[in-house]
Every structure is written in C-alpha cells, then in structure tokens.
Amino acid sequence: MSKKKWLIVVAAAVALSVMAVGVVLIAVVVVFFVGPRALAGGDGIPIYQTQQTASAHPGFRRTILTSGSVSYVNDYEEYGLQLINKEPTQVIGRRPFGDANICAIPGQPTTAYIAADVGSEMPAYEVFRNIKEPPFNWRTATFREMQITLPLGARTVLRSSDLGLLDAVVRSLREGAPAAPPMPVSTSLARHAILSLYSDQLPGLAFCPSVYFDPGGAIYLSENISVLPSKNTTAVTACWVMADEKLERWLTSH
C-alpha cells in the first residue's frame, strides 16, 4: 500500500473514532438530562400517566391516573365531589405534559384521594379516588352543613345547618322519581348552580349535587352533572329529580 493510501485509511479511522465518541457522548447527555426528567419530572416528583375512556354511565368519561403500581380514577361517582380548597399547594406528582400538577388534598390521605389539574390555561382541579378505595356513599353519609350560590340576579349565597333541610336534599336525590326539565338545561346553564354539602366523613371535600332552576319555577336536583361543550352545542348529562318541597321553599324564599 502506498504512503498516500495509508494516510487516507488512517484519517478515515480517526474520523470514525471521533464520530463514535460523539455518539456515545450524545447518548450519555440524553440519558443524564432527558431520561430522569421523563421518569420523574427532573426533580424526583413522579409523572402520572393518563388514560381516558367512556364511562359505563353514558355521557360521562372515566379517567385513570397511574404512577407505578398506584392508580386513581375520576368517574361518575367522583363528578359530584369538589375540593373545599380550590387551589391545593402540596405537589405530589405531575402530568406528562405542561405544568399540570397533581396535589394532595388537605385533610385526605393520598392513599384515598388526590387532586389533578385538568385546566388548559388556568389551573382547574378534579378529584381522583384511589382505585382500591370504595366510592364515597352520599346516601348514608351524615352532613352537617350546606351552601349554594343562587344563579342569576345578585348571586345570593345561602347557608344552612338545618338537619331537616340537609335530609331533604339526600332524600330527594335518593328517592325522587326521575324528572325531565321542560327546558333543556344546555340552553340555560346560567340557571344551573352547585349545592355543596359538607361531611366530617369527607374531610377536605364537598359532595356537590347540581341544582337547576327552571324558568317555570320548578327546581330539579341531580347527583352530579356532565357538561361537554362543543362548537355547535353543549351536551349536558344528568339524572334529574324534583326538589323536596321544604328544600324548594328554602331556595326560593330569599
């Protein structure tokens, strides 16, 4: 082999070696900087994967959050639960994309319930239940207080710890015959309100049935409500019953 060809072979070998070292260095950088962040958010906080399917209850969605061997669910039974503290601060995890946090709920062990940010531009937390825990049973719970902000007008806030009124709410939801508001709720969401019931059996959370004030004067209750807005129409799913007479008087006498 001539000296010129020999120099060409040596130069090619050196170039290949440099390229190999570069590939290794890039791989190290990717593993060191990207890998840990993908697995634990870069700061050791777990990343929760999300899976969403249609619920067994038509019109509702079932969302599962999973980290390792632990899974939490938001389904029909959790639609009626809301945080008392709307902006929790104890971050225990994150969603895979964006800055959406997963937080502990004050008063609740993370083995039972957590809160996950499902907002787009602004934080909006929903309640997720550990899939191994039974759903909250509002039918047998003991409530100590309730609150509602009436829709329209002055947005009056009503509060009551009257056990008779609280029982009227639960009894209406539990035993009321199904009813259909004459005007579709989707056309008048401004007449919709949330009634928050508080129980020592559900610290940090409130059970929040939906209330619909029909323009004709009737008042309807539903265990929960699913609202799915779209470009052309808003789909509202709820199981409405007529409000108890005692509850109706309380809601309309202010």
Q: What is the mean pLDDT of residues 28-49?
A: 54
DSSP state string for 141-176 = ----EEEEE-SSTT--EEEE--HHHHHHHHHHHHHP
Q: Are residue 153 and residue 243 in the same domain, yes or no?
A: yes
Q: Are residue 121 and residue 180 in the same domain, yes or no?
A: no
Last residue of some domain: 86, 101, 130?
A: 130
Q: What is the mean pLDDT of residues 19-44?
A: 41
Domain encompassing residue 105: 49-130
Does residue 33 form part of some domain?
Answer: no
At 208-242, the pLDDT tens digits run 999 999 999 999 999 999 988 777 778 899 999 99
Last residue of some domain: 130, 153, 172?
A: 130
Q: Are residue 188 and residue 240 in the same domain, yes or no?
A: yes
pLDDT of residue 157: 95
Q: Are residue 240 and residue 159 in the same domain, yes or no?
A: yes
Q: Are residue 150 and residue 245 in the same domain, yes or no?
A: yes
pLDDT of residue 8: 43
Reported confidence tier of residue 205, pLDDT bands at 50, 70, 90: very high
76: nearest Cα among 117, 140, 126: 126
Q: Are residue 162 and residue 248 in the same domain, yes or no?
A: yes
Last residue of some domain: 130, 154, 175?
A: 130
Does residue 30 form part of some domain?
Answer: no
Does residue 181 form part of some domain?
Answer: yes
At 135-184, the pLDDT tens digits run 999 999 999 999 999 998 767 999 999 999 999 999 999 999 999 998 88
Burial of 172 (0-12, 13-18, 19+ CB in 10 A): buried
* The total number of structural domains that make up the chain: 2
Q: Are residue 151 and residue 241 in the same domain, yes or no?
A: yes
Q: Are residue 101 and residue 193 in the same domain, yes or no?
A: no
Res 14 pLDDT > 80: no
Q: Are residue 152 and residue 122 in the same domain, yes or no?
A: no
Q: Are residue 114 and residue 206 in the same domain, yes or no?
A: no
Pick the more confident residue, 220 or 118: 220
Reported confidence tier of residue 43, pLDDT bands at 50, 70, 90: low
pTM for the whole structure: 0.81
